[in-house]
Amino acid sequence: MRIGVLCSGGDSPGMNAAIRGAVLRGVDVHGFDMVGFMDGWRGFHEGEWIPLDRSTVRGLSPLGGVMLGTSRARPFVHGDGDESDMRVIRERMAEYGLDGFLLIGGNGTQTVAKMLNDAGIRAIGLPKTIDNDLGGTDYTFGFDTAVSIACEAVDRLRTTGESHRRCMVLEVMGRNAGWIALHAGMAGGAQVTLIPEHPESIEQICEWVLSVRNRGRSSLVVVAEGFKPTGFDDEVTREGLDGFGRPRLGGIAEVLAPLIESRTGIETRATVLGHVQRGGSPTAFDRVLATRTGLAAADAVKEGLWGTMMALRGDSIEFVSLEEAVSRLKTVPADRYEQARLNFG
Ligand SMILES: Nc1ncnc2c1ncn2[C@@H]1O[C@H](COP(=O)(O)OP(=O)(O)OP(=O)(O)O)[C@@H](O)[C@H]1O
Ligand SMILES: O=P(O)(O)OC[C@H]1O[C@](O)(CO)[C@@H](O)[C@@H]1O
Ligand SMILES: [Mg+2]
């Protein structure tokens, strides 16, 4: 059995640990031959791959980034995944002697895994994304690390903000889901947390900031990059498109800060945390989750459970269908936001 491992989407702390887990179990226990394609689908289509064995994954678990590289390169060379695209993939698989894929990625990657599987190309999904927006699983590895980094940023901005009696606005990632903002805001005691799922008006935001000032404190506002204030038609985006041709989200903190300052008279500063929250060593939680995900993926191959994704359910790693994983974006439910909102202002 020859298995190809490939990563796509943004990197996420824990990807190395997941590869290590899959290889230790897949090669040493189940006797598979495993190869890794460099930079996602680019390496697959351009024939750039490395063998994966015990020695290539040694010491990987604490390392951030991903040793294979990742990209948003398109899997399909002709169109949107029609039969001619699938034929190209089958031909290359035959050339490499591949029996199936382990695809490490977020909702986009798992959508591709499902498309391949529906076309009879064997694929198993390993969920990773700092955004935590994948269905079917409680948490994705990388999220806990991103939240820890964002929480540290909240703590640091709070001390400088309080010293200058300023309102500090921190923008975090998450695309169209507010999980990183919700958790970092709750952990850091933010006075306002703004997420895409629950729009708020500029008037309401300023009212919270003023009420904090009236209590003699300075506000810490956490905003998710995909947040749109009431009345805004679109998310704020940066120039250019991402590798998949979507507008790059980001910049809402820099839009909000001057609006808050002009309406409240409180000096306000914006910080965009950006890719810092994806970098560096994974937390212990993410290392363990990623390792268990990798181990489970190798077992799924052994058991022929193609078309599944390794999901965290409670404390167990379970095999869920790719259909369930990608059928909806996992966004922040209203009750979770309401819990946080009680403490605003
Ligand atoms: N519907 C689709 N059809 C074809 N290719 C897709 C589709 N969705 C995603 N892809 C491919 O998968 C890649 C990864 O998807 P995406 O950029 O959404 O990241 P992701 O896997 O969701 O990870 P993350 O959100 O953590 O960055 C895309 O760059 C694109 O090449
Ligand atoms: O690496 P890029 O293309 O800048 O992508 C940034 C995006 O990727 C993510 O980090 C993960 O999906 C998002 O939170 C963010 O919008
Ligand atoms: Mg995604």
Find, among 331, 317, 332, the residue nearest to 125 by Cα. Answer: 317
- What tens-digit pLDDT sequence spans the chain (345 residues)? 999 999 999 999 999 999 999 999 999 999 999 999 999 999 999 999 999 999 999 999 999 999 999 999 999 999 899 999 999 999 999 999 999 999 999 999 999 999 999 999 999 999 999 999 999 999 999 999 999 999 999 999 999 999 999 999 999 999 999 999 999 999 999 999 999 999 999 999 999 999 999 999 999 999 999 999 999 998 999 888 988 888 999 999 999 999 999 999 999 999 999 999 999 999 999 999 999 999 999 999 999 999 999 999 999 999 999 999 999 999 999 999 999 999 999
Residue with tokens 């994974």: 282
Buried b / exposed e along 220-232 (16+ C-beta atoms within 10 A): bbbbbbbbebeee
User: Does the CB atom of residue 14 touch ligand 1 within 6 A?
Assistant: no
User: Does the CB atom of residue 125 touch ligand 1 within 6 A?
Assistant: no
**Ligand 1, atom 30: closest residue by C-alpha:** 74
Which of the following is catalytic: 131, 133, 144, 299? 131
Supply angle C-alpha 157, 159, 165, rounded to 5.
95
Q: Where are the alpha helices (DSSP H) in 9-106?
A: 15-23, 41-46, 83-96
Rg over CA atoms, the chain: 21
pLDDT of the residue at 25: 98
pLDDT of the residue at 244: 82
The complex scores an ipTM of 0.97
Find, among 19, 256, 6, the residue nearest to 141 by Cα. Answer: 19
User: What's the gap between Cα 19 and its chain centre?
Assistant: 17
CB 241 within 8 A of CB 228: no
Beta pairing class for 308-313 and 316-321? antiparallel
pLDDT of the residue at 98: 98
Going from the N-terminus, what domains does the chain have, and what CATH number goes with each? 2-141+282-326 (3.40.50.450), 144-278 (3.40.50.460)
**Ligand 2, atom 10: closest residue by C-alpha:** 10
